[in-house]
Chains A and B, each alone.
Chain A
Amino acid sequence: MTIPLSWYLLFAAALFGIGFFGVLSRRNAVAALMGVELMLNAVNINLVAFWRYVRPADLTGQIFAIFVLAVAAAEAAVGLALMIAIYRTRRTINVDEIDLLKG
């Protein structure tokens, strides 16, 4: 326990911020998806760090992180399938060019 908990939290926050920046700023949908994955990873680090430092006796934090992993896998599968489908019809997956609903 030589490393203080706040280091992990700061690190996770930084990772979250970088991922968030990717989601907000990238034009390409796949790149935005990568940002989302980074954010999910940051959340998982928080879960595990809190488990290790606050309640190491029960494994709730790790179990929750496993759920996050599963949801991330589902999210990536559906997201990429959507992107491939959109790419097939529109020949682009830049999020600011996919504006079918705009009059």
Chain B
Amino acid sequence: MTGGRLVARFYLGLVLVFLYLPVAVMMLMAFNRSPLYELPFAFDTVWFHALAGNERLLQAGANSVMLAIANTVVATALGTLAALGLQRYEFRGKTALQLLLFPPITIPWLIIGTAMLIFFFWVGIGRGLHAMLLGHVALSLPYVIVVVGARLKGHGRALEDAAATLGATPGQSFWRVTLPVMAPGVVAAALFAFAVSFDQFVISYFLAPPGVSTLPVEIYSAIRKGFTPEINAISTIIILVSMGLMLLFARLYRFGGER
């Protein structure tokens, strides 16, 4: 059925074009001299230069990066511990706890974001980067736990048992066996957490006070207000960063999955 195969692959190709076309266009336009997308295409990095002078965007970018780093550290640490706990102990209610991981991912972020806004304001935490950190970690935790958990499941208790029979104390066993074996999974989860925070829009949007914002929030306001081609430039950068991170993650996750 080679004819069918060809059609099949062609279709897949079409789907891929659909998925990448708009982004490709946007990236192209980021390098186009014209501010209004007039063709013919004239290569110019003028908009990237303009970025360097755009205080708001730069500040927002810095915020995004700092926030993402903080999120990565906290979420990876907490999530890894949780994954270890889930793997190590059998107890009643374990499935319930595993199910509890799902709300942040499955409930529309609009609802979570507005709920956080209400709660934080009421309780006195207010809005701001610290509030956003709380929210981002909450969103990242399920992903970290799942990614690290998958890595742990592949190797299970047998390795730790073996270390014990060889005379390793629980501390030695953790340091010499569990941690190294878990490492690729933890790094992958960290990358994931960074990307989740860096790209996060909804939660950041609701928790952003006037004057403080992250990159996605800033871009959103700019779009709503009217349009500057610098948005293209910064968007291109963001997309490349996100996709790059995800490619790294995929690489690590694959090789981590090998025995």
Q: Do A and B originate from a single complex?
A: no
Interface residues of B (CB under 8 A from A): none
